[in-house]
Structure formats: C-alpha cells, structure tokens
Amino acid sequence: MTVTAPAGFEAAGVAAGLKSTGKSDVAVVVNRGPLKVGAAVFTSNRAKANPILWSEQVITDGIVEAVVLNSGGANCFTGSFGFQTTHQTAEKAAELLGVAPGDILVCSTGLIGTGDETFRAKVLEGVEAGVAALSADGGLDAAHAIMTTDSVAKTSVYAGDGWTIGGIAKGAGMLAPGLATMLVVITTDAVLTASDADAHLRAATHVSFDRLDSDGCMSTNDQVSLLVSGASGVEPDAAAFRAGLVALCDDLARQLQGDAEGASHDITIRVVHAASEEDAVEVGRSIARNNLFKAAIFGNDPNWGRVLAAIGTTQAAFDPYDVDVWMNGVRVCSAGGPDAPREQVDLTPRATHLVVDLKVGDVEATIRTNDLTHDYVHENSAYSS
C-alpha cells in the first residue's frame, strides 16, 4: 500500500550504517515505465542542501528514472565535496540501473553539516545494496528507510478509475516554507505528461503539505517527488486525478501531523469568511506559529485571547473587534468579546478544532499544526538533528 502499489514501480530500503541504530537508512524507488515522467517541488529555503541543488536540475526536463533517499545525514552545508557526493550517488544508481545520472533524483535527511567521506562511502554502498534489493513490493521497506524521528512509517494509496496513486513520507512539516525535513515520494501508473504531472503536484501540495505548519521552521532538504510510469495505460480524467492526488497528499500530511515531534494535540485551524485565500492562510499560519497559543493547547487551556493576539499581527482584511472564535464546537469569543465560558471547552482529545470566523468574505482555508509540548522541547534539545 505504498509507492509500489501502482504498476511499474520497484523499491527497496536497506541498512547502510548511516543510522547509529543499525536500522535501514537508504531507500531506492525505481520507475520501470513505460513512461519515465517526473515532477518535484522543493523547499523554498534559500539555504538548500546539496541533494536539492542537484534534484532541481534533474527535474527540469520532466524525466525521472529513480529516486535515491537517505536518512542519517542531510548533506547540507557540506560544500563542493557534499555536492560531489550527491552527484556520485546519482551516478552510482544510474550505472546500476543502466540509465542516465541526470534522471536520478536524490533526497537526504538528518543533521545539517553531515556529509564527510564516511557518509559518502556508506551512501554509495547503500545505493548498491538498495538496487540489488529492488522488488515490486519493496515500498514499505523504502518508507522505513527514510524515517528519522518518525515513530511510524507513513504510507498511502488512492485507487482511481483504472489507475492508482501510492505514496510514502517522512518528517513533520510543510514545504514552502517547510521544516524538519519532509521527504515524500509519490508514484502513479496513470498516463500523464510532464507538464500535467507538474501542475497536479503543485496544486496538491499547495493545499496539503504547504498548509501543515507544525513548528514554523523551514527545512533545507524538503522535497516531494511524483513519478509517473503510465503502466496502467489509462489517461485519467484531469479533475479526478487531481482530486485523488489531493486526497493522498492530505492523508500523508495528516499522518505527518499525527506523528509530529513530541506533539500531544493535532490542531486543525479553519479560517472561514475570509476576503481571500491569502488572507485565510496568513491568519491560520499566524495562529499555527504562536508559541503562547500552542503552549495553551498543550495545557488544555482554551485561551482564545492568544488567538486574537496572534491574528492581530497579520495584514489580512478583518475587524479584530468583530471576529468569532470556536474551540472544539464551543463559541468562546463572539464579535471580539467573551462568549461561552471557557469551562465548556473540552481540550482533552488529541484532535483539536479551531474555527476563526473573519466575517468579511466567503473564502476559507485550513492550516494544520501541533501544540508546543515538553516532549517537543526535549526532542529538539536533547538530540542534534
């Protein structure tokens, strides 16, 4: 039920010694065709890891043969040596697969600044072992090999009308901006052109991964790739394919949110009656990034004042004194003043629903985030990543 669910793909995940735990750390996903179409979106951070710099070039012609991914080292800020490592990774995979190096996407995740000779040697060994282990049901192995602080592998499948989409993901965060390195590989056996694949992928990530804002920090290594084999022989209805891809991305985004580092609440922030999508997203993001609000939710405190203080920092069109706020179904603030007593709000469930009604238009958007917890501080202070 992963990237090997659609026809035309093989995958593998192997242990190359990059993780000190000895767990698998190199994944390979190969497109056996007949089409070799690819699309990808990358972190918008100007500080880009070497695999991002490489993959941005690979994707320009819309042809992708395979994706090689490693955990255990981000290969970011490792200079020209690090870029050569990425280049050699692609060359090694290309040689073993009998394809061109310029059609191999590379993704890395782990500690920034990690990418020395030992790292290079292990990655190259991992590519060799990974290609040797490729199989038509290796998708779950690949999903495991890209995990870092993830507690579970993230996978998803969407069954269309004669075509299938499959995906694996790791990390917790959003893409543009993005964080904590989110790596996603999506495959499909639908028949798509490169430009269609690119358009569908951008549209789907825009409303899914881009709206997952666990802690507001943007990664140097985020990458979402879509590989198209066309092996089903079916040209999908464009709207149906887009809807399927959105559903799959949204499912993976929810899994990332549900496994975010140290979180105890999955917070869905729905901003309604905004004047524009930009306004709704800006308002939602301002709440998602407010540490005081996020700490309050951790403490099961329905502190709507912190919501209003957060959105007051935005440029979005609304009257701060005519906003309604709902928490888990209770309207705690109406027209910018107290409404139902905060005691009526039960914040003990992990799923937390916040609705902010701006009362100025008819557009809405949903941003997903997590609370700010002791475990978040612990995970991000006790371990380098």
Tell me: does residue 112 bind a copy of itself (CB under 8 A).
yes
| Shortest distance (Å) from residue 86 CB to a copy of itself | 15
Among 74, 90, 94, 175, interactor with a copy of itself by CB under 8 A: 74
Residue 78 annotated to the active site:
no
Catalytic residue (one of 43, 86, 181, 205): 181
CA distances from 231 to 66, 93, 137, 227 (A): 15, 22, 16, 11
Binding mask 10-49 for a copy of itself (x = CB under 8 A): ----------------------------------xxxxx-
How many CB atoms are closer than 10 A to CB 20? Answer: 8
Please check if 170 is assigned to a binding site.
Answer: yes
Q: Given the complex with a copy of itself, which of 17 and 216 has the nearer CB atom?
A: 216
Among 63, 203, 295, 363, interactor with a copy of itself by CB under 8 A: 295
Q: Given the complex with a copy of itself, which of 162 and 299 has the nearer CB atom?
A: 299
Report d(CA 376, CA 153) in Å as an integer: 19
Two tokens at 69? 């991914």
Handedness of CA 288, 292, 298, 303 (dihedral sign): negative
Residues 6+ positions from 267 with CB-CB distance below 8 Å: 288, 294, 297, 352, 353, 354, 368, 369, 370, 371
Tell me: does residue 224 bind a copy of itself (CB under 8 A).
no
CA distances from 252 to 70, 197, 220, 383 (A): 19, 18, 20, 25
Which region, judged by CB under 8 A, interacts with a copy of itself, from 11-19, 148-156, 201-209, 216-224?
216-224
> Three-class SS of residue 36?
coil
Angle at 362 between CA 357 and CA 367, to 5 degrees: 55
Report d(CA 6, CA 159) in Å as an integer: 9
Please check if 369 is assigned to a binding site.
Answer: no
Among 136, 195, 350, 374, interactor with a copy of itself by CB under 8 A: 374
| Interface with a copy of itself: number of residues (CB under 8 A) | 59
Tell me: does residue 215 bind a copy of itself (CB under 8 A).
yes
- Nearest CA-CA partner of 29 in 76, 67, 74, 69: 67
Please check if 148 is assigned to a binding site.
Answer: yes
Two tokens at 206? 């825009």
Among 17, 33, 102, 113, interactor with a copy of itself by CB under 8 A: 113
Please check if 380 is assigned to a binding site.
Answer: yes
Among 122, 298, 355, 365, interactor with a copy of itself by CB under 8 A: 298
Which region, judged by CB under 8 A, interacts with a copy of itself, from 69-77, 139-147, 198-206, 350-358?
69-77
Phi-psi region of 40 (alpha: psi -120 to 50; beta: other; left: phi over 0): beta
Tell me: does residue 71 bind a copy of itself (CB under 8 A).
no
- Nearest CA-CA partner of 2 in 128, 234, 131, 184: 184
Tell me: does residue 350 bind a copy of itself (CB under 8 A).
no
Is 123 in contact with 70 (CB distance < 8 Å)? yes
Residues 147-186 touching a copy of itself, rule: CB under 8 A, are: 177, 179-180
Q: Given the complex with a copy of itself, which of 12 and 172 has the nearer CB atom?
A: 172
The residue to which tokens 């050699």 are assigned: 88
Binding interface with a copy of itself (CB under 8 A): 44-48, 74, 76-79, 111-113, 177, 179-180, 215-220, 289-292, 295-296, 298-299, 301, 303-306, 308-314, 320-321, 333, 335-338, 372-374, 376-378, 380-382, 384
Provide the annotated binding site for substrate.
148, 170, 181, 261, 380, 385
Catalytic residues: 181
